[in-house]
Structure 1
Amino acid sequence: MQTLQTTSLRVEGNQFWILDQQALPQQKNWLPADSVEALVGHIHALRVRGAPLIGLSASLLLALLAERGESREALAAALETLRAARPTAVNLMNNLDRMRSALAQPDHATALVTEALRLVEEDRALCERIAHAGAALVTPGSRLLTHCNTGGLATAGRGTALGVIAHAFEAGKVANVWVDETRPLLQGGRLTAWELGEWGVPYQLITDSMAASLMAQGEVDAVWVGADRIAANGDVANKIGTYSLAVLAHYHGIPFYVAAPQTTLDPACPNGAAIPIEQRAATEITGVAGSFGAVQWAPENARVYNPAFDVTPAALIGGWVLDSGVVTPAQVRDGAFATA
């Protein structure tokens, strides 16, 4: 396969590496992801994360396996294993549906490589379209709040919600970005803060529980988040804590926007109640582990509830910014996502 490089993925010849997002920002470690077992392990551990990037990484690995001469049957089995790696993010399923169609072609190896590369290029292009569409909604001097990580670490391009923020900053519209640390794995504190710093965008890091007081003080002009799945009625599954922000924004009269590619739409899913929500390990709540080692702060026998995502009802969302443009609440009520 041709050499390919994104912020988080690298392909050279028939070798595939991922940037370990668990080690950031202190360390930039590139880890091999040359087998289904390795990539699934990286996905489960969130060394690879972000709904678009998960789908792209699975597609690229299938293409590499095909180039190595894996049989059609082995590739089909690999596809199903990868498909089951993350239940909530629908981008993975949508990308692999396209890879399954490529697998059915007579020259399946060439078709898989072509399709995987096409998906990467499409993601880069759609990130730019999302950024342009979303930046038009940002008013000059805005103080924006974002949650989790939706930048180049989570996509092949500049990102979804974070791409909007970066584009708006370049247009002179962003005064400051409030970055939720994002429990339980601090993906805002570790990843979003790092990316904004690399881009030169002014930001301030906050704990998730500080958003309400900032809104009450009039310090937040809009909230921008991404999505892992958008149901037919406009309900959105995203990183746990997103729903809280939407409720707070609604109470304080602050616009709340969701930025995502069309691959995040799931017209077969009627509403948020039908979205499967992944449960994460208890150790992500009872302590912390990283390049510094491990710390346990909760009792060893503490019972833990740790959903990776929550669902934000469509009624709390002011606009869905897709690569096709901005979708309004009225359009969603008229069935814009039910026929996507």
Structure 2
Amino acid sequence: MPVAETAGKIKALEIQGATKVAVEAVKALAAELRELEWVEREEAVACLEDSIQVLVGSRPTEPLMRNGLRFVESRVLEARWSSPGELAEVVGAAEADFLGMLERAREDMVEVGARRIEDGDTVMTHCHSSAVTGTLLRAHERGVRFRVLQTETRPKYQGRITARELVEAGVDTTMIVDSAARYYMKEVDFVLVGCDAITSEGNVVNKIGTSQVALAAWEARIPFYVVTTLLKFDPATIRGGYEVIEERETAEIWENPPKGLKILNPAFDITRRDYIHGLITEEGIISPHSILEAIHRHYPWMLGGRPSLQG
């Protein structure tokens, strides 16, 4: 089953990165619904809701995935269909619309971010983000000569993914241990990181260690930018909800620890908006303080409206 298989891969980090997770989850949901044989509408809706729960449960801190699944769900619930063929048509259109929206947003924010990079710059980044990698590669393709300082990003070493992609493209890249970020901050012109979630206050949830990099940048008066689509906004935070921080298995840190040792392994942390110089988005570089206004302009459906093609 597409949903069960995809959820398993997301949980095991075989599929990682907020954008990739969202894309694969939406594709899996659409495939699951297209595979339905003739059932009553109520049964199809139950399958839809069960599938969404399975996918959402695979990675708690992924509002982009939740927003994509909600987009498809709303289209299915609003549409008039009475056969598997009609349902498949509705699902296919919703899938294409959301993925197209996401691709346009990514193209716009990568373009904005690439313009920020100039000859001679040293850019620090943390973890692996397809948006950040895309931004750096876009600037490199245009002949901009710059250097990247990449943290290794323990305990799963996702920084190696970014480093490999950059080195293979010919970008001057140096890897450092996570704890050396503050030491090397004096060499940096600005920091670029990705994002898993944006709250209504303009705070950003990203890979554990991001907030420490942000604090080091703030102390050194180095601009700290977050490359993100507005589609990663978590509407639940408007109503007082908190973004759940996923706790990973302790074996990722130490497979055979001494008896009695307690290990904590949060996957993400929260960077306060006060430490963020700007959000590099499809709208341009905006202040994290203005996130709600930007959502209203681009994706009002995330705030309760009909999920159509804004943006």
Q: When the two structures are superposed, what TM-score results if normalisation uses the length of structure 1?
A: 0.78
Once residues 288 and 99 of structure 2 are traced to their aligned partners in structure 1, the CA distance between those partners, rounded to angstroms, is 30
Residue 7 (structure 2) aligns with: 40
Secondary structure of the residue that 1:84 maps to in structure 2?
helix
Per the alignment, residue 304 of structure 2 pairs with: none
Determine if the alignment matches structure 1 residue 146 to structure 2 residue 125: yes
Aligned match of 2:309: none
CA distance in 2, matches of 1:193, 1:301: 36
Cα deviation, residue 76, structure 1: 2.8
Amino acid of the structure 1 residue aligned with 2:197:
R
Q: Alignment partner of 1:42: what SS?
A: helix
CA distance in structure 2 between the partners assigned to 1:64 and 1:86 by the alignment: 20
CA distance in 1, matches of 2:69, 2:6: 15
Taking the TM superposition and a 5 Å limit, the aligned residue runs for 1:283-294 are 283-287=251-255
**How far has the Cα of 1:210 moved from its partner?**
1.2
Q: Write out per-residue CA displacement over residues 105-134 of structure 1, whole angstroms, 9 at most, x where no aligned residue.
A: 212211112222333333332222111111
Letter paired with 1:83: V
Distance in 2 (CA, whole Å) between partners of 1:169 and 1:245 is 24
Matched, 1:261 2:256: no
Q: How far apart are residue 271 of structure 1 and its match? A: 9.9
Indicate which of 117, 133, 137 corresponds to 1:162.
Answer: 133
Structure 1's consecutive aligned runs of 4 or more residues displaced over 6 angstroms after TM superposition are none
Structure 1 equivalent of residue 73 of structure 2: 100
Aligned runs of 1:206-245 on 2, under 5 Å? 206-215=176-185, 218-245=186-213
Per-residue deviation, residues 28-76 of structure 1 (Å, max 9, x unmatched): xxxxxx4322221111110111112111111111211222225513233
1:75 is matched with which residue? 48
Kept in 1, the 8 Å contact 2:2–2:28? The answer is: yes
> Partners of 2:293 and 2:183 in 1: how far apart?
35
CA distance in 2, matches of 1:80, 1:273: 18
- Structure 2: gaps (5+ residues): 300-311
Q: For residue 109 of structure 2, what is the aligned residue in structure 1? A: 130
Instruction: Flag the structure with higher strand content.
Output: 1
Partner of 1:304: 263
Unpaired runs of 5+ residues, structure 1, are 1-33, 152-159, 288-295
Tell me, in whole angstroms, the C-alpha distance in 2 between the residues paired with 1:197 and 1:306.
Answer: 29
Residue matched to 2:17: 50
Structure 1 position 336 matched with structure 2 position 307: no
What percentage of residue pairs aligned between the two structures are identical? Answer: 32
Partner of 2:166: 196
Residues 190-249 of structure 1: CA distance to partner in whole angstroms, max 9, x if unpaired? Answer: x1112112322221111111111111xx31111100111101111000000000000000
Q: What is the deviation of 1:273?
A: 8.3
SS in 2 for 1:283: helix
Distance 2:289 2:94 in 1: 35
Residue of structure 1 equivalent to 2:308: none
> What number of residue pairs does the alignment pair up?
285
- Give distance in 2, aligned partners of 1:208 and 1:271: 35
User: Is 2:251 the counterpart of 1:280?
Assistant: no
Rounded Cα–Cα distance in structure 2 between residues aligned with 1:272 and 1:43: 27
Within 2, Cα distance between the matches of 1:90 and 1:331? Answer: 19
Tell me which protein shows more helix as a share of its residues: 2
- Confirm whether residue 179 of structure 1 aligns to residue 137 of structure 2: no
Change (3 A) 1:112 1:171: same
Question: Quick check: 1:231–1:337 contact (8 Å CA) kept in 2?
Answer: no
Secondary structure of the corresponding residue to residue 336 of structure 1: helix
| Greater displacement, 164-173 / 44-53 | 164-173
Q: CA deviation at 1:330?
A: 5.8
Q: Deviations over 1:298-338 (max 9, x none)?
A: 42543111100000000000000111221125645xx5357
SS across alignment from 1:179: strand
Query: Residue 162 of structure 1 aligns to which amino acid in structure 2?
Result: T
Once residues 100 and 93 of structure 1 are traced to their aligned partners in structure 2, the CA distance between those partners, rounded to angstroms, is 10
